[in-house]
Amino acid sequence: MRRLLLQLQAILLLALLLFAAVVKAHQQAYLLVGPSGAGKSTLTNLLTGGSGASPEGDGAHSVTKLPVAFTVQSPCTRSSFCPGTLIIDTPGFWDTGDLSADDIVTLVRSELFKHQLSSLAGVLLVLDGSGPRLQLANALQSTLAMLGPGVIPHVTVVITKADSVRPGGVTADEVLKHAQQVFVAAGGEAHRVVMIDSKTRPRATTIEALFEALPRGGAGGGYTLAGIDDLARKEEQYFADELKANTVTRTEQVPRVETRTVAKTVMANVAFTYECNCQKVCAKRALGICIKKKRVCGSCAGTRQEPRQQSEVVHETVYDAKTITELVNSKEYCRQKAKRRVLDELHRAVFGKRPTTTHQEL
């Protein structure tokens, strides 16, 4: 019975470890960039399965004001994201309000840091395929300026609104072909350009088409944003600071039993003999007269008290001063505080002294 229980425990542990590994494997992030009104937020909602989670606009006004990460909720299939995947929505390239491209990257770093990720599995450059001009070349330039020159292999160009009627009778295929040419000229691969329709096609079909064109951001395959490793280093430094600040030292008297041998003087009864009952008896006679006497005594035994040296084992309670070092708050608390400090620093770097009332919390 005991053995069976142990086996069950081992199986349960293995299953938990497997589950943790699977969840960890799905912890990856995709960044959506592109001009305002292109359909980034619509796509974010489609991918995460959280309809309306990221507010969508009417295409005429810029809506998304800050980069925000959303987590995929829907169950995964062979060709879709799994729960835990992060989709980071961003403001439109040329309509970022008060934020510079650097600010946006700082906030994207902050989102990745919050979710303990150090790289992007892919970047989705979202463009409106219904307009008179795709502006892919410009958008690619902005993407490179924002994320760095090494990002191209990690970019997937997503052309939205495949369903819309284009001016001048241009077909969706022509838009796609043109985009592939521009992307290949910029160093990209043609199969990483995809045209989707988030509105009228079934969600599964759209995700499947998109999924085919995405780079797989598996182990070591992602794009690491410059400066992201510094955040982890900073967190470790702040964690060490917090541990120090939360450590107190006090002295405690700890009792201990000490055993030792001591010399002791005790009075003991000691036996002794002494002369007793002494009398004079005749030792020599001459002519009946005693001419010499001698003293004759008996022997008597007695006891008397005499001092003696004795060793004795004594047990004594003594107190030692012990220095005790302990944390006033848990390690987890220190870790959270260190993370918070890093995030606050990023927040300050972006918003500085500007009023932050309109900004969402980092």
Ligand X SMILES: Nc1nc2c(ncn2[C@@H]2O[C@H](COP(=O)(O)OP(=O)(O)OP(=O)(O)O)[C@@H](O)[C@H]2O)c(=O)[nH]1
Among 29, 31, 39, 155, binds ligand X (CB under 6 A): 39
Nearer to ligand X, 172 or 186 (CB): 172
| Helical spans, DSSP H, in the chain | 2-25, 40-48, 101-114, 136-147, 172-185, 203-213, 228-245, 331-351
Q: Is 110 in the site for ligand X (CB under 6 A)?
A: no
CB 30 within 8 A of CB 85: yes
What minimum distance in Å lies between the beta carbon of 56 and ligand X?
A: 4
Nearer to ligand X, 118 or 211 (CB): 211
Nearer to Mg ion, 5 or 60 (CB): 60
Sheet holding 29-33, edge to edge: 68-71, 86-89, 29-33, 122-128, 155-160, 193-195
Q: Is 336 in the site for ligand X (CB under 6 A)?
A: no
Instruction: Report the SS3 class of residue 251.
Output: strand
Among 29, 31, 41, 194, binds ligand X (CB under 6 A): 41
CB 69 within 8 A of CB 29: yes
Which of Mg ion, ligand X, none has residue 201 at its interface (CB below 5 to 8 Å by kind)?
Answer: none
Number of residues that bind ligand X (CB under 6 A): 23
Which of ligand X, Mg ion, none has residue 241 at its interface (CB below 5 to 8 Å by kind)?
Answer: none
Percent of residues in the chain assigned helix, strand, coil, to nearest 5: 35, 30, 30
Q: What letter would DSSP give residue 166?
A: P
Q: Among all residues, whose Cβ is closest to ligand X?
A: 39
Which of ligand X, Mg ion, none has residue 91 at its interface (CB below 5 to 8 Å by kind)?
Answer: ligand X
Nearer to Mg ion, 160 or 180 (CB): 160
Q: Is 56 in the site for ligand X (CB under 6 A)?
A: yes
Q: Is 52 in the site for ligand X (CB under 6 A)?
A: no
> Which distant-in-sequence residues (6+ apart) come within 8 Å of 214 by Cβ?
30, 121, 122, 124, 156, 192
300 alpha carbon, distance to own chain's centre? 94
CA distance 193 to 184: 10
Q: Is 123 in the site for ligand X (CB under 6 A)?
A: no
Write a three-state SS string for 77-113. CCCCCCCCCEEEECCCCCCCCCCCHHHHHHHHHHHHH
Nearer to ligand X, 126 or 343 (CB): 126
Stretch near ligand X under the rule CB under 6 A, chosen from 36-44, 264-272, 289-297, 318-326: 36-44
* Residues 186-245 close enough to bind ligand X by CB under 6 A: 197-199
Q: Is 340 in the site for ligand X (CB under 6 A)?
A: no
What's the alpha-carbon Rg for the chain, to the nearest Å? 46
Query: And the tokens for 201?
Result: 């096609």
Which of Mg ion, ligand X, none has residue 359 at its interface (CB below 5 to 8 Å by kind)?
Answer: none
Alpha-carbon dihedral sign for residues 206, 58, 128, 31: negative
What minimum distance in Å lies between the beta carbon of 89 and Mg ion?
A: 6
Which of ligand X, Mg ion, none has residue 84 at its interface (CB below 5 to 8 Å by kind)?
Answer: none
For residue 148, the surrounding DSSP H or E stretch is none
Which of ligand X, Mg ion, none has residue 58 at its interface (CB below 5 to 8 Å by kind)?
Answer: ligand X
CA distance 348 to 355: 11
Among 118, 138, 164, 246, binds ligand X (CB under 6 A): 164
Among 48, 106, 160, 180, binds ligand X (CB under 6 A): 160
Interacting residue ranges for Mg ion, rule: CB under 5 A: 40-41, 63-64
Q: Is 356 in the site for ligand X (CB under 6 A)?
A: no
Instruction: Report the SS3 class of residue 250.
Output: strand
Which of ligand X, Mg ion, none has residue 159 at its interface (CB below 5 to 8 Å by kind)?
Answer: none
Which of Mg ion, ligand X, none has residue 164 at its interface (CB below 5 to 8 Å by kind)?
Answer: ligand X
Which residues form the interface with ligand X (CB under 6 A)? 36-42, 56-59, 62-64, 91-92, 160-161, 163-164, 197-199
